[in-house]
Structure 1
Amino acid sequence: MSSDDNIDDNEDFYTPGPDILFNIRSNIKNYSFEKANKRLKLQYDLQKNFNSLNNLKFRRSIYNKLSNLSLQGSQIISNRFTSSISYSKNLNYLSVSSWNGNVYLLNPIDLSILKTFNNLHNEKILSSTWNNNNNSLFTGGSNGKINIILNPINEEINEVPNIISINAHNNSRINDIKFHPTYNYFTSASSDFTWKLWDIETNKELFTQEGHSDIINSLSYHPDGSLLASAGNDLILKLWDLRSGNLILNLNENQNDHTNSIHSLDWRLNGYHLASGGSDNQLIIWDIRMMKKLSNVLSHNKLITNIKFTNSNNETLLSTGYDGNLSLTSCDNWITFKKLNTLDKIMSLEIIENENENENTDLTIFTGGWDRSVKLFKI
């Protein structure tokens, strides 16, 4: 084997990018340092004042409450699958994207359709999310374009919306769009085996990141904003350090855990638990401190499409799949304590967490999928 072959085998994926990236990475470093200090201090204080009995009562109260979760409403939205759901807390609107290329704005209380953007994409929409800084809506399509609706709630129903269209991935499907916690940047993942970092103000690409050998399906930002997790059809879950631009960790590198494509990722607020779900029906919890699998959650018997940790109590993991199940799992012992079946494949998941006057958290869950509907679950 030549020396050149050795270099290729040990290639360290790193994208220098333009000079502006130095300032961006410095800003991310400063932001994440402050967030990490607050997170670690909170964890230290919680551990210092930990009371096992009170903690047990708290967890039981959460699970007892969530065990009463039930289907409260269902609305047919589209003539094709509902592929993505996103909630804007600022506007109190629910956006629903469909494989027919349309986006629908819904009332999250009664699921009534308030506005429709017909043919926003000329092909399937795979991902959509709100920018909470300026209340614009970002959508990604199978034609490789990101469309940004700058004023989606204009009262003039017939007025043509102001839409910015970006040819982001050269006709390769966009599978996920995520905003950095600072909301200064966003990231797109594509079937062209790359993810890209974009500037929010200019909508300009900052750099393209290679490293995966197959389609990238999902992205997730670390709560501190320092790391980005990416995963897809190559079965490898990669962690990228946004402060340096380096690939720092490959999980499942020997493919002993996930045995088929990974479709969803999410970080827990504690900063060291990362969940992944895939078409091998596995929901895996990784502990980044140990750099290995912590637990395998038995929640689904078909492809897992979405996973989300609750932020308010940090004690529950929600997941959906092609088995039609919405599953709730305890983060204490990683046992699923509640399953709700919707009788058809679920493709999208969104949650709303609002504290009520008793300082308890009301959890509302929305799902969408092959039955072309949006379903609302509430206690």
Structure 2
Amino acid sequence: QQKKHGIVVELERVRLEKSQAEIARKISQGQLTAVLKKRLKEARIVGVVLATMSSVIAGLWWQADLQKRSAMQQSIKAESSETNLKISALTAASEALFASNKEFDALLESLRAWRKLQQSSSVEPETRMRVVTALQQAVFGVKELNRLEGHSEIVWGVSFSPDGQLIASGSRDHTIKIWRPDGTLLQTLNGHNGAVTSLSFSPDSKTLASASLDNTVQIWSRNPTKGGFITRPKVTLNAHEHWIYSVNISPNGRELATASKDGTIKLWNLDGKLIQTIGGHKDWVNWVSFSPDGKLLASASEDETVKIWQRDGILVATLNAHKGGVTSIDFSPDGQTIATAGRDRTVKLWLRKYNSQNDQVFVRQTTLKQVASVVWSLKFSPDGKYLASGGDDNIIHLWNSKNRTLVKTLKGHSDAIASLSFSSNNQLLASASYDKSIKIWSLYPPQLVTLLGHKDQVLNVSWSPDGKLIASSSRDKTIKLWQRNLSDYHQTSTRLYKTLTGHKDGVSSIAFSPTKKILASASYDRTIKLWDHNGKLLKTLLGHKDSIMSVAFSPNGKFFASASKDKTVKIWDLQGNLISTLIGHGDQVNHVRFSPDNQIIASASDDQTIKLWQMDGTFLDTLSPHKGWVLGLSFSPKDRLLASASWDNTVKLWSWDGKLLKTLLKGYSDSVNAVTFSPNGEIIAAAGWDSTVKLWSLDGKLIKTLNGHNAPVLSISFSPDGQTLASAGDDNKIILWNLDMKDLLRRGCSWVKNYLQHNYNIEKKERMLCEEILRDK
């Protein structure tokens, strides 16, 4: 069409030029007659035709451009939707890995989701929050700090050097690998002709002994210049007639003991001279250990006994320990306890005592019955605080060695755990597994900040406008002020600042004034108290005839409202003067809130309704589709939206004109106690009787369920910057949920830094995953 239009226009232009030339000739001849009028008329017609055709073509162009724009918009929208789906898929993968006890992999996947998020120009708020919460879950749930991968077969032995500089691992692939704790593989020692079963460092870390199924023990010397070991063994011990299962260097570093399938224990000096052969077991010997003072040896056998020996081979005691064979033993650091494990799936603790003849005896003190599989390795931490056990269930059990309780379980291996070793600083635990890997675990991983101090359920939690103070109120009749150091990026320095006393019953609700340094508290004792931020009591207000359930300030700070079991809402000024009493509810009023524009007051009641009021007390509307008590309310800070939480297991979303927009049902199995909008109005948080906090998008999609409380969650509150969500519960504690993307990224990237840098399985592009975050740290 454009081409045809151009030809027509050109033809008409030529005709016009010819007409103008003819007119000019006629004029020059003085013949301005009907010819001139005719040509002028033709010119006007041509102009109209050209204008019309141009208009038509322009319309076609505009329509084509409109279609193009629409197509581009559709393409952008589709691309945005696809991006959000990809990010959501990554966060879902992180969630699934976390649920499968693959917390380390979950952290990596959440970091990949963040990278995709960073590369995207259009991301929905709910998608961003999914990334934040996936990161938070992984960052504060991960215990695996690093993994060492390089062996091609089962890893049967692992040991930290006492100086903390090296980790040695031995495998069925016949090799010993020497690593730095950051995961750097320093060297591979080749010397054995069979599987390496056990490793032991000398106390000075200069010597390493390795035992093997090739019936030998090899002694390796530290290379003083290169940090690893001389690649040829210093000494090879050839004295056992069968496989050697265990080797242990003595605490003085001058001898070593070996245990073999030939049923004997042998004592050697480090030059390879045999000192003593100890026989007495009726079956092969799986393990041998020195006592911390070096005076005793303990041996574990398939004959179901543990035998205690003097260094000269004299038998001190025989413990009939485990049915089916004893697999592992270890002395506590003080030498007073022996831990034993067996094929009967138990761990037993034996106390070292002396009888009336001053003879040593070992009395069974405790059986740890939570173990559900054969245990292959036992190890006390150097400080004696923990006892670790690992076996066929792929799980490490960490026990408190004093009170014999299970402290935590470390999950992540995909096959049996063969060996365990603590670092000398008591911070790390290494585990070797049939899955061919060594995992390094942190014994003190990051944890969400939890505020403890209340002696009864925490009923309410609230933030000061500057985010520096958190106030909590409790059934224990106190208010606690917690001070935060906002310069501490890792949010670890939240401390108890003041405890306010004065109420004679539980303190149901607290609120900070947005404009003045005033804190209002409401109590079951029917009073409202006003305090300054230093905890000084300013005023006590009387007026309600029953327990007060809720208190809230207006956004302009000029008024505050209180809701009571006496079925009323009262409006007060800052001087404590009663402005008005709102009467209309048929049962106790549980919650009250002001709209962001200060024009509307919303109240929630046990009469299953929400009522809207003007500031002067004029009744506006009743919202009433709930089928149970309405327990909580929250106005959106930017949209004309109101959320309500109810005993009927729902959260409902309303417009200010009373129209019900959405009912959030999915995920709730019990009552919803409280609801709040995030400061940017994009997320809804709800506290449940099911002990969870749930995060929702405005269109009703469940983003995340936060699990951490051990009892119903009674109150929730976002910090003013939206980076932290505080939840208070019936378990007497407050949890601060970290939603700070920058902080979570710094924590996450710091955690996986060594893995990304040193693990040989990582692709080059993956190594760059955290480069930007670590560079800006």
Question: What is the TM-score of this pair, normalised by structure 1?
Answer: 0.73
Superposed CA deviations along residues 297-332 of structure 1, whole A, max 9, x for unmatched, are: 1242111011111222x2221111111111111122
- Distance of 2:243 and 2:177 partners within structure 1: 21
SS of alignment partner, residue 209 of structure 2:
strand
Q: Which amino acid aligns with 1:71?
A: E
User: 1:225, CA displacement in angstroms?
Assistant: 1.6
The CA distance in 2 between the partners of 1:331 and 1:80, in whole Å, is: 33
Tell me what 1:198 maps to: 268
Partner secondary structure for residue 376 of structure 1: strand
Tell me which of 368, 372, 377 is aligned to 2:436. Answer: 372
Aligned mates of 1:69, 1:190 — CA distance in 2? 38
- How big is the shift at 1:343? 3.0
2:266 aligned with 1:216, yes or no? no
Q: Once the 2 structures are TM-superposed, how far is the Cα of residue 116 of structure 1 from its aligned partner?
A: 1.0
Runs of 4+ more than 6 Å apart: 156-159
Q: 1:216 to 1:287 in 2, by over 3 A?
A: same
> Which of 314, 324, 343 matches 2:394?
324
The residue type equivalent to 2:306 in the other structure is L
Cα distance in 2 for residues equivalent to 1:128 and 1:103? 9
Deviation by residue 1:20-56 (Cα, 9 ceiling, x = unmatched): xxxxxxxxxxxxxxxxxxxxxxxxxxxxxxxxxxxxx
CA 153–373 in structure 1, closer or farther in 2 if over 3 Å, else same = farther
2:244 is equivalent to residue 174 of structure 1: yes
Match of 1:126 in 2: 197
Contact 1:90 1:135 survives alignment (8 Å): no
Q: Tell me the residue number matched to 2:378.
A: 307
Q: Which runs of 5+ in 2 are unaligned?
A: 1-139, 354-360, 446-777
* Other-structure match for 1:32: none
Task: Return the offset for 1:147.
Answer: 1.2
Instruction: Say yes or no: does 1:340 pair with 2:410.
Output: yes
CA distance in structure 1 between the aligned counterparts of 2:329 and 2:315, rounded to whole angstroms: 17
Three-state SS of the structure 2 residue aligned to 1:291 is strand
Q: Please state whether the residue corresponding to 1:353 is helix, strand or coil.
A: coil
Distance 1:214 1:308, change over 3 A: same
Letter in 1 for 2:316: I
Q: Is the 2:157–2:419 Cα contact (8 Å) retained in structure 1?
A: yes
Structure 1 CA distance, aligned partners of 2:229 and 2:344?
45
Which residue of the partner structure matches residue 189 of structure 1? 259
**1:284 aligned to 348, 359, 362, which one?**
348
Q: Is 1:83–1:125's contact at 8 Å kept on the other side of the alignment?
A: yes
For 1:157 and 1:287, how far apart are their aligned partners in 2? Answer: 39
> Which residue of the other structure, out of 172, 183, 186, is the alignment partner of 1:114?
186
Matches within 5 A, 1:343-362: 343-354=414-425, 362=426
**C-alpha separation between the residues in 1 aligned to 2:382 and 2:349?**
17
Matched, 1:88 2:161: yes
Where does structure 1 lack aligned partners over 5 or more consecutive residues?
1-66, 355-361
* Distance of 1:198 and 1:188 partners within structure 2: 8
Count matched residues.
296
CA contact (8 A) 1:275 1:307 kept: yes
2:310 matched to 1:241? yes
| Aligned-residue offset at 1:164 | 2.2
The reply to whether residue 264 of structure 1 matches residue 328 of structure 2 is yes
Distance (whole Å) between structure 1 residues aligned to residue 227 and residue 368 of structure 2: 48
Instruction: Give the equivalent residue in structure 1 for 2:173.
Output: 100
Would the aligned equivalents of 1:146 and 1:168 in 2 still touch at CA under 8 Å? no
Pick from 200, 203, 207 the counterpart of residue 276 of structure 2.
207
- How far the C-alpha of 1:268 sits from its partner, in A, is 1.3
**Structure 1 residue 128: Cα displacement:** 1.2
Deviations 1:279-305 (A, max 9, x none): 211100112226321110124211101
- Report the equivalent of 1:227: 296
Aligned to 1:274: 338
Q: Secondary structure at the match of 1:344?
A: coil
SS of match in other structure, 2:387: strand
Please state whether the residue corresponding to 2:423 is helix, strand or coil. Answer: strand
* Equivalent in the alignment of 1:49: none
The answer on whether the counterparts of 1:152 and 1:161 sit within 8 Å (CA) in structure 2 is: no
Question: Normalized per residue, which structure has more helix?
Answer: 2
Residue 259 and residue 158 in structure 1: after superposition, are their counterparts in 2 closer, same or farther (change >3 A)?
Answer: closer
CA distance in 2 between partners of 1:72 and 1:96 (Å): 17
Matched to 2:267, the amino acid is L
Distance 1:232 1:250, change over 3 A: same
Following TM superposition, by how much is the alpha carbon of 1:136 offset from its aligned partner in structure 2, in angstroms?
2.1
1:76 corresponds to which residue? Answer: 149
**2:313 partner letter:** G
Contact in 2 for aligned 1:69/1:377 (Cα 8 Å): no
- Ranked by relative contact order (alpha carbons within 8 Å, sequence separation 6 or more), the top structure is 1
Judge conservation of contact 1:85–1:94 (CA < 8 Å) in 2.
Answer: yes
Q: CA deviation at 1:224?
A: 1.9
CA-CA distance at 1:124 after TM superposition: 0.7
Larger radius of gyration: 2
C-alpha distance 232-245 of structure 1, shift in aligned 2 (>3 A): closer
Distance 1:122 1:113, change over 3 A: same
TM-align CA RMSD: 2.3
Paired position in structure 2 for 1:251 = 319
Q: Which residue of 2 aligns with 1:161?
A: 232
Alpha-carbon distance between aligned partners in 2 of 1:373 and 1:136, rounded to the nearest angstrom: 24
Judged with a 3 Å threshold, the aligned counterparts in structure 2 of structure 1 residues 162 and 84 are, in CA distance, closer, same or farther, namely: closer
Q: 2:215 aligned with 1:147, yes or no?
A: no
Q: Distance in 2 between matches of 1:225 and 1:270?
A: 12
CA distance in 2, matches of 1:158, 1:299: 40
How many Å separate the matches in 2 of 1:112 and 1:73? 11
3-state SS in 1 of match to 2:146: strand
